[in-house]
Copies of this chain bind each other. A is one copy, B any other.
Amino acid sequence: MGLQTASNSPYRYQDSHLELDFVRKQASLDSHRLTLTRKEYDLLALLVENAGEIIPRPVLLQRVWGYSDEIRTRTLDVHVRRLRKKLGSYSEQYIETIFGIGYRFQPFRASQRFAGLGASPLAVGA
């Protein structure tokens, strides 16, 4: 055995709609190639690599743009918007805005169910 499927390779992300190849730096949505600019890809890749986790704005600006905390810019918002556009109807589910903090990528879930009865999905610790 020892077979490693594409879906659990560390060089690749895959869910039912979105696919990312971190080596070739390419993404596809529903088996259709997504044409992303460099910055768009970098941003998406960083979010996807940390799927399920909130990435604060300063961290995104640091890791994708190399910006220190002092710089005031709206380019992150604009890039998020363009990414969402290219993600089409899934964008709302994929890229989540954490107000006052940053953004979070969530893997696709077929049924947008709330996380059971006990734990609130809003418990983000911020």
Q: Which A residues contact B (CB, under 8 angstroms)?
A: 6, 12, 19-21, 23-28, 31-33, 37-38, 53-54, 99-101, 113-117, 119-120, 123-124, 126
- Chain B residues with CB under 8 A of A19: 116-117
- Chain B residues with CB under 8 A of A37: 99-100
Given A37-B99, A99-B37, A100-B38, residue A31 in contact with residue B124 (CB < 8 A) = no
In the complex, which residue of chain B has the Cβ closest to the Cβ of A113? B33
How many copies of this kind of chain does the complex include? 2
- Contact across chains for A6 and B119 when beta carbons are under 8 A apart: yes
- Chain B residues with CB under 8 A of A99: 37-38
- Contact across chains for A124 and B24 when beta carbons are under 8 A apart: yes
Distance of A99 Cα from B37 Cα, bound (Å) = 8
Contacts A/B (CB < 8 Å), 22 sampled: A6-B119, A12-B117, A19-B117, A21-B117, A23-B123, A24-B53, A24-B54, A25-B124, A26-B117, A27-B117, A28-B117, A31-B114, A31-B115, A31-B116, A32-B116, A33-B113, A33-B115, A33-B116, A33-B117, A37-B100, A38-B100, A38-B101
